[in-house]
Amino acid sequence: MEKRKNMGDLLGLGLSDSFEISDSNVEASQFQQQFTIKPGQQIKQYSIIDKLGEGGMGVVYKAFDNHLQREVAIKILCGNKDFNKLLKEAKSIAQLNHPNIVQVYEVCDTYPYFFAMEFIDGVSLDQFIQQYGKKFQKQNYYREIAKIFSLVAIALGFAHKRGIIHRDLKPENIMLDSNLQPKVMDFGIAQVMNDKRETAEDNFAGTPMYMSPQQVKGVKLDKTTDIYSLGATLYEAITSREPFQGDSALNIMFQIVHSDPLVPRTINPEIPMDLQSICLKCLQKAPQRRYHSMRLLAKDLQNFLQLKPIAAKPPRKIEIVYKWMLRNKLTTMIALGCVSIIVLLSTYYIHNLKQALQKISTALHAKEEAQRERNYYLIGRYYEMVNRSVQQKEFSAAQRDLLELTNAYSQAKLGDAQQYLEYRFFKNKVAPYTEKLIADFGKETKIYHVGSTLLTVDGHGVIALHDKQRGMLKKKKEVHDVQAAYDSALSKDKKYIVLLCKKRLTVGSNYCLYIYDTTTLKKIVSQKLINTHKREYSLCRFYDEKSIVVAGKTIDLWQWRGKNVYEKYSHTSLSKETNHDMYNKVTSLDIHRVNKKLIFVYSGLLYEYSFTDDRLKKIPCMPDKYKVFCRYDQRQNVLFATHDGKMYRLNKRGEIIEFEKKDHFEINKIICRKDYIFASSKQGLIHIWNSTGKIYRTIATDVEPLHDFSVNKSRIFTNNMRLVYVYAMTPQENPFVVEEKKNYKYVSLAKDHFVYGDGFLKIVTRDLRTSTMQTTAYQSSYATYVPESGELCILAGALDTYQPVRYQKIDFRETYRQKSSQQFFRRFINGFIYRSSQKLYVYNKAAATTVWNLRTRDLLNETSAIERKSSVVSAALSPDERYMAFTFQRGSSIVVSDLQTKKKYSATIGFDVHRESKITFAVLQQKTYLILAIGSKIFVYDFDKLLQKQTQNVCMQKYKDSITSFTVVSGERLISMDSRGRVIVWNLANIEQSNLDRFLCELRGESAQIINDCVYSKKYNKLITVGSQVLIWDFN
């Protein structure tokens, strides 16, 4: 009997004790009193084989169909039921012909009432879960479960389409055959959808643990109730436990309505995330949040099996928190109350704290304002003192006053003070030292740079290492028994230093070479040089890594022989070779590192000597019998020499170029660097030339007499006895004169080069990095740079004529060479504007504008002329390249042309515009402004307001001389040039405030000049002006 009862459970035909909330034993006894069937008995064509089980709906028997020769299951109905209603629903279920639904073969509507249905020989899903569900390490189990439930969902979807709701889905009602193909069973309490006869009691039927919230509430049911029940069954399949557990059916039903089940992965982390998401979506309380149909549920399960994205998503954290708050309303209200109290207290505390901080800030601000006023007073006082000292050429006093001014600036922290740029200008003029290092130096001290230290050698043979930042002594070494150290030299790799010393002897003369390590000051070599009184040495140099040249009355080469020993390799007597007085000595010596030739000065003449062929050659360049100093530049392969206070450059072709010089002074040392040549005198002057021979800067140092100087990066180190003064090499606003005594009309910029011309034939380009120059002749009145494909190109055109604009590519690496030329515009032109977007804007006197593409040579846009009797004076293009603004010779308005809509705007400014007006656009504080210069005044308009004919402006004026050119630099600075050559810096910060004094400072070159045009390089922070002079103003 027990076996038969289990078989009934396997078939899932309503024999479970949990089918309905009723006393099934009582109904079974009533059925036994009404009808009794024994094995072997015949009911119609069915022969009863065995009893499988019984329940509240009836008894199930295994039987044999004598007509169709097959085994079937017969369910004989019993109890106090509405048999007509059950039989009618069974007839509807009998129409469900699906491979995954147990088929109903026959419905008998006469007494005894029974169903004949398909017999399944297999196990239920419940047994399958008990056997395999706890073996979580086998991931294939979850895939098999997904396959089974996918087929069950398809079968139930088939039933839903025909209006049948199962209402009692659970593991016992799903059978699995030997191929694990599922069969949905027990449609005993199934319901036809939209049945008008259904009651609340009918909706309540089902197994409590798998009932949906709608079933528990007894409301009208739809297909989503089966989706919930199938989700509850899936939950048990993957977790091996029901979604809700309790001591009674009422407890479980309460949880179904008000609680959420545990997340499956909290029970077993091995459960796939997607499968968990599908399960929880089925178990949503609200029907509209579940799957809308079994087809969508089956599709998500198939996507999981095929490793595709699923529609179900895991619950968000905010949803989990929200649901927890709904379940725990009292706790939530208490927590919110506590948070509100904390927020109120914090707000009160922060308000009081802000008031206290505001009082402290007000007091500090008042104190800072008082200190600021005092600093302004001190700055103005020292500024006037420096200015007076410079005008009187009392540079020593100016240096002292400028140091006080520097201290006042550093204390005031006035980065935007009105006199700041002019302060830097005077700082460059006076050239005070930037640092002063105190060190114990002897007589005739030489300075060498070795890493972060200063290596010094004085005339008594004392070697010392000093910290380059503070001048503190780190190490010191003294050569013993030395009368004097005549010369010293540093090796190319800066690892060793050689000293030429004369030892203290009572008889004859004795010279020695000492070689020391520059980091440890350890003596490496001590080589004695035995000389007669006719062979005196004065200079020494490293010839290569293992050779040293010693020069005086003779030139000797000493080579390394190992074991700290040097031997003489070559000897040359200069008096015999040159026929000069035997008492003369070499006064200057340098070495050509590539050709291994010596360049030296002997008896006032320049000579070249080679040890390989033993040839001595005179270099004809200077008059005889003058003191000459020479230095060879390895980078440029040129020789620099001085005599009679003048500097010369000798190239490999024998050409002699005299450097520019303003004052007469005797040069005692030359240093060559990549772009500059430095020369010093004992009077404390240091001249700096660029590679073209132009004076770059002259520094009047505080060192007199100046024993030695050295250059390290952008700093110049000088010394006299006990002090080292450090000077900044780069000038500030002092302009660098590129070219003078010309009359250039325009200037344009492209990357590292700028181009300027005279408006007739000459076009000059220069490199901002090296100042190298190239010149070409081109019949043009205007030219501008066009950077394209890494080449330099020129747009050139004859203005006010019918000649076309030409587009010319230039090869700058060798010389000017025309590569291609393209004509653009054949009408009467007045000017053109180029932008980096590869567009060329050409306009004529009537403001008719055409836009060209430089890459494709195509005409992009064209706007009509403006009907005016006067012609265009100046034009400007807006930053977004949409608007062109024009001023005309006569009239009192600015005309703006919209290049997109072809619309014209006109704004009356209230005064006449004449031929000298200039116009440009600028972006200030993220807004576009139009800047107009007329006569001696500069007007700044808000461009958006100007388009609406609102002409409020900010006016700036310093002198009555006409503005010839201006440009905007660094966003909030405007630099203007007038007819007197003044360069004036204006402040454009907070431009909307019209009552501020915009004047910052005035800059002038060393002589008055006429400026016609200017351009600013943002990359190098330099201003280039052209006119009677070509000047570069460095603002770094």
Closest CA to 1003 of 400, 428, 394: 428
C-alpha 931/C-alpha 900 separation (Å) is 22
C-alpha 797/C-alpha 800 separation (Å) is 9
DSSP-assigned states of every residue in 602-642? ETTEEEEEETTTTEEEE---S-SS--EEEEEETTTTEEEEE
DSSP-based three-state secondary structure for 948: coil
Kind of pairing, strands 746-750 and 753-757? antiparallel
DSSP 15: -
C-alpha 167/C-alpha 160 separation (Å) is 11
**CA-to-CA separations, 82 to 85, 86, 88, 113, 337, in angstroms, rounded:** 5, 6, 10, 11, 57
As given in the structure block, the two tokens for residue 675 are: 């772009």
**ω before 272 within 30° of 0 (cis)?**
no
DSSP-assigned states of every residue in 313-359? -PPPHHHHHHHHHHH-HHHHHHHHHHHHHHHHHHHHHHHHHHHHHHH
C-alpha 65/C-alpha 382 separation (Å) is 125
* Strand extents, DSSP E, 870-988: 872-877, 883-888, 893-898, 904-908, 918-924, 927-934, 937-942, 953-956, 963-969, 973-978, 983-987
C-alpha 333/C-alpha 216 separation (Å) is 29
* Max Cα-Cα span within the chain: 157
Scored b (16 or more CB within 10 A) or e, 738-772 reads: bbeeeebebbbbbeebbbbbbbeebbbbbebeebe
List Cβ neighbours of 795 (8 Å cut-off, separation of 6 or more).
783, 784, 786, 805, 806, 807, 808, 832, 834, 840
C-alpha 509/C-alpha 502 separation (Å) is 7
List Cβ neighbours of 151 (8 Å cut-off, separation of 6 or more).
100, 181, 182
Closest CA to 146 of 109, 180, 108: 180
List Cβ neighbours of 384 (8 Å cut-off, separation of 6 or more).
none
User: Is 922 within 8 Å of 968 (Cβ atoms)?
Assistant: yes
User: Is 804 within 8 Å of 810 (Cβ atoms)?
Assistant: no
C-alpha 450/C-alpha 488 separation (Å) is 14
**CA-to-CA separations, 260 to 268, 288, 351, 635, 987, in angstroms, rounded:** 17, 16, 44, 84, 69
**CA-to-CA separations, 345 to 349, 350, 365, 947, in angstroms, rounded:** 6, 9, 30, 53
List Cβ neighbours of 1006 (8 Å cut-off, separation of 6 or more).
737
**CA-to-CA separations, 1021 to 6, 289, 969, 971, 1018, in angstroms, rounded:** 95, 65, 8, 12, 5
Scored b (16 or more CB within 10 A) or e, 964-994 reads: bbbbbbeebbbbbbbeebbbbbbbbeebeee
C-alpha 128/C-alpha 142 separation (Å) is 12
C-alpha 436/C-alpha 430 separation (Å) is 16
Residue labelled with tokens 């979604």: 243
State the virtual CA torsion across 979, 981, 983, 986 in degrees, nearest 10: -20
C-alpha 951/C-alpha 947 separation (Å) is 9
Question: 85 labelled as ligand-binding?
Answer: no
Which residue ranges are tagged as binding site? 75
Which residue ranges are tagged as binding site for ATP? 75
